[in-house]
Amino acid sequence: MPILDVLAIQEILPHRYPMLLVDRVLELEPDRIVGIKNVTVNEPFFVGHFPHYPVMPGVLIVESMAQVAGILILKDIPDSKNRPVLLASINSAKFRNQVVPGDQLRIEMKVIKRRSSLAVMAGVAKVGDTVVAEAELMCVLADPAKPRT
């Protein structure tokens, strides 16, 4: 059973279709989280990447990892929808295998360092037992959203 389903995730993250890339959270601890992204042929990026050889773009795998990290950072913050978590840096990103329609990405993120408004997290994305990507991400908790003039 998931700890968080997609409706609960939408209560935490501001992302919506087509940019919400986390379908559920399976494990949630103070410094560790495991999320799932189900990859379907209906994803809008498969139209152009690539029409006859659909492969999930690496940048979207990293974005999925960042969103899972964002859930961990935002889960205990009141009014989290008005405090976006922004990706500040990506280090040591490696793409080890392709992700294709029908795959289920299992994303595990662990906190390496955390301060009040930033977190450095190490993550790995797997399909089954195969590592498809890994990266170290720095995320920054932005100030409450204010309308632009």
- Residues with catalytic function: 49
Contacts (Cβ under 8 Å, ≥6 apart) of 148: none
Q: What are phi and psi of 27, to 5 degrees?
A: -135, 140
CA distances from 54 to 88, 98, 100 (A): 29, 10, 6
The beta strand positions in the chain, using DSSP E, are 24-29, 32-38, 85-95, 104-114, 118-127, 130-141
